[in-house]
Structure 1
Amino acid sequence: MPTYRDEVVVLRTQKLGEADRIVTLLGRQHGRIRAVAKGVRRTSSRIGARLEPFMVADVQIYKGRSLDIVQQAESLATYGADIVGDYDRYVAASAMVETADRLGEAEATPQQHILLLGGLRALSRGDHHPRSVLDSYLLRALAMSGWSPGLDDCARCGRPGPHSSFLAHGGGMLCSSCAPAGSVRVSADVLAQLRALLRGEWDIIDAVSDADRAAASGLVAAFTQWQLERGIRSLAHVESGR
């Protein structure tokens, strides 16, 4: 029987029939996995709670023809329990796993798994502002996939910066000669925040003002959705400012 094991983060679930679910997982070794978890919607299921979004589990999976089948699941981290009770943490985590799902279609790597795991851990502990955790995750996940924004030299002509105009579909910061009408003017503090988010410099990130955090977050959201070529639904709730 062809089976394999992996450490996975549960990205999303979908009902199947009366008692089953299709679970989408991000594995450390196997990347994005879609599998059927049989009977997990029954109250008697021993593994149903281990296969909810934001949970981390060690799973044994049977390799099927179209969908794999989860045979065993042992809980490794219950981040979901601390995340779902707080709205800001929940919407940030939702946007993170949705992005990981999109990237996992072609870009899943062990490093992407580790990055997502660290982001969910930080959200569950309340280490940093949820919006900042999300923004740092988005920029770093995109950078791992080869889509890092240009934040120093002009993203179009390479002219040395710093520059003060940002355009999502222009690749990042643009010089005055390359910036078209409609580019966003970016202050030095917001630019410093974007650099810190990309590098994971939390002493700088945590010290930012609410206004600069919101401004940086809007740029990150625009850049992410342009690079992924379709919207991240959960980001609409983050951007609402709730």
Structure 2
Amino acid sequence: MRRESYRDRALVVRTYDFGEADRIIVLLTRNHGLRRGVAKGVRRSKSRFGSRLQHFVDIDVQLYPGRNLESITGADTVAYYGSGIIDDYERYTAACAALECAERLAATDGDEDPWLFDHLTETLARMQESDHPTLVLDSFLLQAMGHAGWAPSLFDCAQCGAPGPHHAFHPAVGGAACVNCRPSGSAEVPEEALHLMWLLAHSHWPAVLSTAASPDGGHLLAVAHRLTRAHLQWHLEQKVTSLTVMDQF
């Protein structure tokens, strides 16, 4: 039976060269989850829409279903988030990490939930002008994990529910752990770092920026990022390459 083409909003999260002039595009769509399509001829200089099938471009894309890959037959730009990102290394690496993590999270999510797409576009828009792109990324990740149903516990003990604050954290038990429940290998963390993660998870930006500007802010930001990354990768059961690249600098 012939399947009809359809349109959806989308962000490019990954691309692969294919053949001499084509490219495979992995899209996070707003209403159809992850879609993999082939854009024919986009690597030629005369391509009608190849420049729109790039990272950090919010597009209105037309797709035609195929057996293995969909065909991308049109794309119109809705918004461009690359300005302020592609010319700043820290913002660029954080934005690339957001795209890769969104792809991994979408693979575990339902197809028809627009939340992840909407949240990713909001994150890229905020990242364009942020002086703390890693904080914007961590906020995105914590909220996305919460939406997926495996947000870390940041106050009460994740194992027994004992009220905090606690000073141990381990992804295996679900986040913060009391002295009786903390497993071997738990990270010893200041309670202020867990509170910062809570602020990020709830988008309390004035308090987040106040913490970042405090004398101990740099250390707390680093700890919060390390714990967020560890919790994400534990539950995805794989490393996220772009997060590893970020932490090398």
Give the TM-score taking structure 2 as reference length.
0.93
Residue of structure 2 in register with 1:194 after alignment: 197
Structure 2 residue runs of 5 or longer lacking an equivalent are none
Give the counterpart letter for 2:76 in structure 1.
E
Residue of structure 2 in register with 1:84 after alignment: 86
Residue of structure 1 in register with 2:221 after alignment: 213
Alignment counterpart, residue 58 of structure 1, candidates 57, 60, 65: 60
Answer yes or no: is 1:120 the counterpart of 2:124.
yes
SS at match of 1:82: coil
Give the counterpart letter for 2:45 in structure 1.
T
For residues 189 and 161 of structure 1, the distance between their equivalents in structure 2, rounded to whole angstroms, comes to: 12
For residues 197 and 43 of structure 2, the distance between their equivalents in structure 1, rounded to whole angstroms, comes to: 42
Question: How many angstroms does 1:205 deviate by?
Answer: 1.5
Residue of structure 2 in register with 1:23 after alignment: 25
Contact 1:26 1:113 in 2 (8 A): yes
For residues 220 and 11 of structure 1, the distance between their equivalents in structure 2, rounded to whole angstroms, comes to: 21
Number of aligned residue pairs: 240
SS at match of 1:92: helix
For residues 89 and 130 of structure 2, the distance between their equivalents in structure 1, rounded to whole angstroms, comes to: 16
158-167 or 217-226, larger mean C-alpha shift: 158-167
For residues 69 and 84 of structure 2, the distance between their equivalents in structure 1, rounded to whole angstroms, comes to: 30
Question: How many angstroms does 1:69 deviate by?
Answer: 0.6
Residue of structure 2 in register with 1:176 after alignment: 179
Structure 1 residue runs of 5 or longer lacking an equivalent are none
Question: How many angstroms does 1:183 deviate by?
Answer: 1.3
Residue of structure 1 in register with 2:247 after alignment: 239
Alignment counterpart, residue 164 of structure 2, candidates 161, 164, 172: 161
Contact 2:154 2:195 in 1 (8 A): no
Give the TM-score taking structure 1 as reference length.
0.95
Question: How many angstroms does 1:128 deviate by?
Answer: 4.5
Residue of structure 2 in register with 1:230 after alignment: 238
Instruction: State the percentage of identical aligned residues.
Output: 42
